[in-house]
Amino acid sequence: MSPTYDVIVVGLGGMGSAAAAHLAARGARTLGLEKFGPVHNRGSSHGGSRITRQSYFEDPAYVPLLLRAYELYEALERDTGRNVATLCGGVMVGRPESRTVAGSLRSALRWGLPHELLDAKELRRRFPTLTPADDEVALYEARAGLLRPENTVAAHLQLATQRGAELHFEEPLLRWEPCRDGVRVHTPENAYTAGQLVICPGAWAPQLLTDLGVPFTIERQVMYWFRPDGGTGPFRPERHPVYIWEDADGVQIYGFPAIDGPEQGAKVAFFRRGVPCTPETIDRTVRDEEVAAMADQLSRCLPTLPGRFLKAATCMYSNTPDEHFVIARHPAHPGSVTVACGFSGHGFKFTPVVGEILADLALTGTTAHPIELFDPSPRFAGDTPSRPTEAPA
């Protein structure tokens, strides 16, 4: 007879680990299944740092979820003793009409978020490592900062285990099907039944959710670490913000202060501008021409940063056509299956609140959080947009 649970969570990266922790906290008999080991670097929840911010240029509809996520990150640190968030401030830089600046300002004004608008002169004065052009401006948000993805996943796994969840690593999902009691899940080791199934597949969404009707694309991304000319002192988090910088051509880079000492340098990456891949075919080798392109982009806005290249690593974005998330009951199995996927390169900061939402959906079928934007049914039933919704200038 197969083991029976209230909820099975497939995928224990950022979202799945948070879901397991929230489900276990509510007393649900929870099984978590993970294809790899705990806190692995094969998907998206790694790389040492992720930006968090509230003045959200993607859409003001995300802001209430961010406000709740900030509360939950504080609770996560308190409950586990792990450092997961550092609020060092952040700047969104570009021309006033750019999506990065105009969209951030739109969200800040819509929700009354504290912020400052800095012209190029003031931005240079406040943060001397930054060299904006005279026609560029920045929205500064003191509550922006960085998250530690590995620490966050480890903290949620710790809480899930402490609260009674059963977590199986190196045990991939082979298939699942509806059954009389809910769902039956098959792995190489066993078959399990549960009343509810939560699927958090990351870059494996095209394989595990073929019947969802979402045209996912998986994209290879590269993260770079450089040691600045003159050392990392000016790049320490007490002196340097996180940043997202959009140039006149619409190319965005994002970066961080030097958070792990001078030997590790400071991390930077292009936001998007990746190449299509699959989890099985992703090229993990970072080539000299890729490093050169990153250094060239940096030389225009942070000229001391590309002093010496230290290392690089790859990760994957799981994109939807409109770059909004998919968080919903599965349209074909609304009574027993919940999905969270397609986070399109900007999802990690929402990890704890997504876990809370998934626990709501799995246990009650609904949530008080505003997630209408993430319902796949009206978005992908017919033609899909080729670009995300642009925030008006």
- pLDDT value, residue 272: 86
Look at residue 263 in the predicted model and tell me its pLDDT: 85
Alpha-carbon gap, residue 106 to 99, rounded angstroms: 10
CA angle at 84 for the pair 80 and 290, rounded to the nearest 5°: 145
pLDDT in tens, 135-189: 999 999 999 999 999 999 999 999 999 999 999 999 999 999 999 889 999 999 9
Q: Measuring CA to CA, which residue among 360, 385, 390, 374 is closest to residue 198?
A: 360
pLDDT number for residue 262: 82
pLDDT at 50: 98
The Cα–Cα gap between 181 and 146 comes to 42
Question: Phi then psi for 70, rounded to 5 degrees?
Answer: -60, -40
CA distances from 122 to 43, 91, 93, 298 (A): 39, 12, 12, 20
Which pLDDT score is estimated for 386? 36
**What is the token pair recorded at 134?**
């005279």
What's the CA gap between 194 and 90, in Å, rounded? 43
d(CA 334, CA 6): 16
pLDDT of residue 388: 36
Task: Dig out the tokens for 268 from the structure.
Answer: 């930077």
What residues in the chain have per-residue pLDDT under 50? 383-393
